[in-house]
A and B are shown apart, each in its own frame.
Chain A
Amino acid sequence: MRELIHDIRNQLAVAVATVEAFRDGMLEPTPERLDDVLSALAAVETLLAKLPRDSDGTAPPM
């Protein structure tokens, strides 16, 4: 569970930092880099699906 949350934060970190770099003009938003951001967000989605569910079927708060 802890590892899962850690991995989610790591992938979010990639997406957030990269988009900020685009905004600040630090990196060119090339198609490859936009794909990297999308991959990170897709990984977050996959990881979220692995989080254990509460008995009522809702995901626990992070």
Chain B
Amino acid sequence: MEGRTVLLVDDEPMLVDVLERYLRDDGFTVVRAADGPGAVEAFERSRPDLVVLDINLPGFPGTDVLRKIRAIRDVPIIMLTGRADEVDRVVGLELGADDYVAKPFSPREVVARVKSVLRRAERPQAAAAHHERRVGAIVIDTVAHEVHVDGKPVTLTPTQFKILDVLAQHVGQTLTRDQLLERVSADGDVYDRTLDRHIANLRARVEPDPSNPRHIVTVFGVGYKMVAPT
């Protein structure tokens, strides 16, 4: 959780002092605000990873702050509430806070919730990164079988996709034609003489300048190598 920024919003400075102290002790960066308008301003300025928000604020209420913040950017929000009857509304579909803590609370409990909500929020991205291979401008999603170059989707044949994926698994390493054929062509449908054709078609789709390939380079007399252009 090192380096994550938490925006703390509560009009009780002593509570904010205490929470700030605990969060800093855990390596968080803390930004604070004491009212509704201040919270929205601080949110836009500091781009926090998570917001801890008191539901009862001067200026405009925490529920309005939550709506305004969510309209700017989708970020995990933990509400602090002093009323049990608010909980359903806060965490339910109406406002969609990620969690809540009832006052009075233990500061350790708040820190634990902050960590747990952040972990939950960051998990899908971590999983996405795991099945994505990035080489220079090329991003290969091995689960969705999609390839993006400079953020734009490109369409590849299954064989082209396999060749690209195998090369991307061995960035910087020269693969001989035999090694490539063996890994790409499980049922022998790619032949030595067609490999060069597949590579040429692949370059035409993923290289910004196919006549001067910078991602999939030829190693003369050996095979091919994928490199990340600098």
Contacts and interface: CB of A to CB of B under 8 A. Distances in A.
B222 interface: no
A26 B21 contact: yes
B107 A17 contact: yes
Interface in B82-137: 82-83, 85, 102-108
A16 B108 CA distance: 12
A13 B21 contact: no
Contact of A16 (B17, B21, B105): B105
Contact of A26 (B14, B18, B102, B103): B18
B83 A9 contact: yes
Contacts of A15: 104
B82 A6 contact: yes
Nearest to B24: A26
A21 B56 contact: no
Contacts of A18: 14, 18
A47 B60 CA distance: 24
**Looking at chain A's contact residues, is the secondary structure mostly helix, strand, loop, or mixed?**
helix
Contacts of A6: 56, 82-83
Contact of A9 (B14, B22, B25, B82): B82
Interface in A1-37: 2, 5-7, 9-10, 12-18, 20-21, 24, 26-27, 33, 36
A36 B165 CA distance: 63
Contacts of A40: 14
A16 B14 CA distance: 11
B106 A13 contact: no
29 contacts: A2-B85, A6-B82, A6-B83, A9-B82, A9-B83, A10-B56, A13-B12, A13-B15, A13-B82, A13-B103, A13-B104, A14-B12, A14-B14, A15-B104, A16-B104, A16-B105, A17-B18, A17-B19, A17-B104, A17-B107, A18-B18, A20-B107, A24-B107, A26-B18, A26-B21, A26-B22, A27-B17, A33-B14, A36-B14
Per CB-CB distance, the 6 closest pairs between chain A and chain B, nearest first, are: A13-B103, A9-B82, A13-B104, A6-B82, A16-B104, A12-B104
